[in-house]
Amino acid sequence: MTSPLKLEIDQALATITFNTPERANVLDLAMARAFAAAVERVAGDSSVRAVLITAAGRHFCAGGDIHAFADASRPLPEILQELLDPVHEAMKMLTLLTVPVVCAINGPVGGGGIGFALCGDLVLAAESMKLRGGYSAIGLTPDVGGSWFVTRRAGAAKAKEVFLTNRPFPANECLSIGLVDAVVPDADLPHAARKLALQLAQGPAQAQARIKALIEAAQQQSLHAHFDLERDHMFASGATDDGREGIRAFIEKRAPKFQ
């Protein structure tokens, strides 16, 4: 039986690939458990220096398994809890990673797939990508962090449009409102995403972790407090071998070799 998800770790890059293309990579219980296991493994592997999340086939993730939700033999909240508890715990773990996370949205995405698609520090989309909320059309509300990521990237007004109107947002519109960072031809997406993720995996891990921490803090504290945090992080980065190596490489006009 084909696994609903593939995890590959190579050259310090962990690649998580949703792998049920015949079902539009729908989020069912098997996918939820496989995703949770993959994230736990990545979080526990100190050799991983970047993460890439993508999918096989023509769709990224169509969202939750609505046919499973229709099981009249069990209360719907029970079904939803069984599905969401492992996914939400894994997403919490994923968003606490200090390494860069890249998402490559290879096609249409909806419902719970939106959280998976937009959780990255950098998000690339194929030209065929379309994003559709879908929740309110079936009387439900967002999950997997979708409402948080859309609001953070595009603002509250656009988030309301995404989740209240359920209209599809094509890739170029997603780019224009900030939901994704770049749009590339479908055939080029796998190479472009892997190239970017490998570049990040070869970067200065401690400095990249501090950059992520600074940007998160910038959204939660005052400017004057942030000056102090930047100062502390700059001093800490300057004390690392990577900091010294980066400066030497710049002076010597060569590529740095970060540890």
The closest of 8, 143, 5 to 83, measured between CA atoms, is: 143
Helix 29-43 to helix 76-95 angle (10° resolution) is 20
User: Residue 54 has what DSSP assignment?
Assistant: E
pLDDT band at 1 (very low <50, low <70, confident <90, very high): low
Quote the pLDDT of residue 81: 96
Q: Are 171 and 224 found together in one domain?
A: no
The closest of 9, 89, 16, 18 to 49, measured between CA atoms, is: 9
Q: Are 56 and 171 found together in one domain?
A: yes
* 168: in domain: yes
CATH number, residue 59: 3.90.226.10
User: What is this structure's pTM?
Assistant: 0.93
* 258: in domain: no
Contact (Cβ atoms closer than 8 angstroms) between residue 116 and residue 138: no
Q: Are 222 and 237 found together in one domain?
A: yes
Q: How much is the average pLDDT of 140-151?
A: 97
Beta bridge partners of 9: 14
* 223: in domain: yes
Q: Are 92 and 172 found together in one domain?
A: yes
Contact (Cβ atoms closer than 8 angstroms) between residue 146 and residue 153: no
Please state, for a pLDDT cut of 70, what percent of the chain lies above it.
100
* 80: in domain: yes
CA 54 to chain centre: 9
Quote the pLDDT of residue 2: 73
The residue range of the domain holding 88 is: 5-201
Q: What is the mean pLDDT of the chain?
A: 96
Quote the pLDDT of residue 259: 85
154 dihedral zone (left: phi>0; alpha: psi -120 to 50; beta): alpha
Q: Are 189 and 213 found together in one domain?
A: no
Query: What distance in Å separates the CA atoms of residue 37 and residue 45, rounded to the nearest whole number?
Result: 13
Q: Are 136 and 172 found together in one domain?
A: yes
Q: Are 79 and 123 found together in one domain?
A: yes
